[in-house]
Amino acid sequence: MSRQFRFVSFYDEAEVRMLLMHLLQTLQSAVVLIVIGLIAAPVVTFAQTDEIQVYDAEIEEPGVFNLMVHTNFTPIGRKAPVFPAAIIPNDSANGAAEWAYGVTPWFEQGLYLPVYSLYSTGRGATINGFKIRELFVRPHAHDHTLFYGLNFEFSVNATYWEDRRITSEIRPIIGFHLHRVDLIYNPIVDTDYTGGLRNLQFNPAGRVAYNLNDKWAIAAEEYDGFGPLRQFLPLQEQFHETWAVVDQQ
């Protein structure tokens, strides 16, 4: 099982610097990658998330079960719901238990159960739904320079988590292992099954990583929300967020 320690970039550079100074004082023994000045564009149309991850096309061996627990805390975030009765991101802790089973060398079956909030303002702890995942990949992706895959997710949501009960994700995966450097891109398309193809949402994610050794890596990850594929939102309404990441295998 891998662990990921993530530090998010916020809307104001001064707030980022204050947070990083606090982390350096309290985590003197930790290995932390610091990125200053990577500012997320403000947005009012994107909901909270349970999973912050760029998929790398690596799956469990056939017959092997795996459990990964995702938990994301937002110390500084939006203080108003993004849709009526939605969970408020500020000071919230959200995540999911991701169960996975290797079916074949190229197929992994997954289940996110439960999707949860440990805490959010005005609600406390809540169960937010579940997701079924089907992941198809090039077998043994870690051993190839070029790797690829395709992930499908079907979500059933509480109406305070998403404004639609049923949503889905299609996530292509393309990447390169270049010695110690990994380049990965997930051009994700989301749908809430309204508006047909005209309402498909383009929400890609990308990762550039440097592997220090077999156990540790440092990376920068970018998460974006451009809006409908047919016509992207104006820049001021889009979502762009950069994370600094330390991975331990």
The whole-number pLDDT of residue 51 equals 83
Per-residue pLDDT of the chain (249 residues), as tens digits, is 444 444 443 344 454 455 445 444 433 333 333 333 333 333 334 556 778 899 999 999 999 999 999 998 888 888 999 899 999 999 999 999 999 999 999 999 999 999 999 999 999 999 999 999 999 999 999 999 999 999 999 999 999 999 999 999 999 999 999 999 999 999 999 999 999 888 999 999 999 999 999 999 999 999 999 999 999 999 999 999 899 999 987
Q: Is the peptide bond before 234 cis (omega within 30 degrees of 0)?
A: no
Q: What is the pTM of this model?
A: 0.79
The whole-number pLDDT of residue 18 equals 52
Domains and CATH numbers, the chain: 3-248 (2.40.160.40)
The whole-number pLDDT of residue 9 equals 39
Residues 6 or more apart from 42 whose CB is under 8 A from it? 11, 236
User: Ramachandran region of residue 49, left (φ > 0), alpha (ψ -120 to 50) or beta?
Assistant: beta
The whole-number pLDDT of residue 232 equals 96
Q: How far apart are CA 109 and CA 132, in angstroms?
A: 8
The whole-number pLDDT of residue 137 equals 98
Angle, alpha carbons 148-152-157 (nearest 5°): 145
